[in-house]
């Protein structure tokens, strides 16, 4: 089943509707089917390479989320993606990260509701090339990791973050509102270095407390970018094991960790 996948419809009628949607994209689908699985599920084998090519033909980009792009199309019903939620989640991830979609039915299938870990020895250059071969040479591929930092940020924004982006932006906004209610608003000239410090410090803690400690350190005469440089240096030197026992941002600031690299 190289570059193939099994998709299941909740019923024969639903499966036929889904087949018509795929054929409208120009995706070749076998006319036969076989019953199996739970209930009246009908299993089809669909060429995922042709599905990706059809998505690109109607305007999708390798950097797009297949979920969001296709749900916005009038001719595509959300039921189609609900029927194949797990499969589409896998293919969406592989499409975004440039991994080989042929591996979805193998080493990276969902196990017990969770995705198995990616092979650490996998060569990203090889997997990116395989996706290009699947989609076609006429498509320009750019990985998510190669997206340049947004304009207007400080020079530290060009450095590679040491943690995955999460919902910390909302956490920061909530904490700043809390500080403002307490009469301790972050000065305008400290916003940029504070953001850089919070982005590069290896561990997380209470953001409001870290803000207070950062403001106190700067008001005592410390250059804010010196603190940022210390946090960035600390992030480069600390190991994954040391992060478990590392001080919180507030404690690190109180101990003036930027001077002696106190972890």
Mean local confidence (pLDDT), 140-159: 36
Q: Residue 202 gets which letter from DSSP?
A: S
Cβ contacts of residue 214 below 8 Å, gap of 6+? 190, 194, 197, 224, 227, 253
Q: Where are the alpha helices (DSSP H) in the chain?
A: 12-24, 48-57, 66-71, 78-83, 85-97, 124-135, 168-181, 188-200, 207-219, 224-237, 240-244, 249-254, 257-260
Give the model's pLDDT for residue 24: 65
Rounded to 5°, angle at Cα 90 from 129 and 104: 60
Which secondary-structure segment (H or E) carries 5? Answer: strand 4-9
Whole-angstrom Cα distance, residue 95 to residue 232? 32
Cβ contacts of residue 257 below 8 Å, gap of 6+? 230, 234, 247, 263
Could you tell me the residue ranges of all domains in the chain? 4-146, 155-260
Residue pair 15/56 in contact by the 8 Å Cβ criterion: no
Assigned token pair, 63: 């950097």
Complete DSSP assignment for 23-90: HHTT----S--EE-SSTT-EEEEEEHHHHHHHHHHTT--TTS-HHHHHHT-TTS-HHHHHHTHHHHHH
pLDDT higher than threshold 70 for residue 229: yes
Assigned token pair, 130: 């395989």
CB atoms within 10 A of CB 136: 12
CB atoms within 10 A of CB 212: 17
pLDDT higher than threshold 50 for residue 129: no
Give the model's pLDDT for residue 91: 42
Give the model's pLDDT for residue 139: 37
Give the model's pLDDT for residue 144: 34
Cβ contacts of residue 80 below 8 Å, gap of 6+? 17, 18, 21
4-9: strand order across its sheet? 4-9, 42-47, 34-35
Give the model's pLDDT for residue 16: 60
Give the model's pLDDT for residue 210: 84
Give the whole-number percent of the chain exceeding pLDDT 70: 26
CA distances from 181 to 58, 221, 229, 250 (A): 50, 25, 30, 20
Mean local confidence (pLDDT), 228-234: 85
């Amino acid at each position: 089943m190289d570059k193939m996948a099994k998709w299941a419809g909740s019923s024969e009628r639903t499966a036929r509707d889904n087949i018509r949607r795929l054929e409208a994209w120009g995706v070749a689908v076998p006319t036969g089917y076989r019953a199996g699985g739970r209930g009246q599920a009908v299993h089809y084998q669909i060429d995922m390479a042709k599905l990706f090519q059809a998505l690109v033909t109607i305007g999708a980009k390798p950097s797009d989320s297949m979920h969001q792009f296709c749900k916005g199309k009038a001719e595509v019903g959300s039921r189609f993606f609900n029927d194949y939620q797990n499969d589409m989640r896998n293919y969406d991830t592989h499409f975004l990260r440039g991994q080989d979609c042929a591996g979805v039915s193998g080493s990276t299938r969902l196990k017990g509701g969770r995705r198995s870990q990616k092979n650490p020895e996998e060569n990203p250059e090889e997997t990116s090339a395989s996706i290009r071969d699947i989609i076609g040479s006429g498509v320009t591929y750019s990985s998510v990791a190669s997206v340049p930092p947004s304009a207007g940020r400080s020079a530290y924004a060009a450095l590679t973050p040491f943690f995955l982006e999460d919902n910390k932006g909302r956490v920061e906004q909530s904490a700043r509102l809390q500080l403002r209610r307490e009469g301790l608003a972050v000065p305008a000239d400290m916003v940029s270095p504070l953001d850089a410090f919070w982005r590069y410090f290896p561990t997380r803690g209470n953001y409001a407390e870290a803000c207070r400690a950062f403001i106190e350190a700067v008001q005592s005469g410390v250059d804010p970018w010196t603190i940022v440089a210390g946090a960035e240096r600390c992030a480069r030197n600390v190991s994954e094991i040391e992060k478990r026992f590392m001080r919180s941002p507030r404690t690190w600031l109180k101990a003036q960790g930027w001077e002696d690299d106190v972890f």
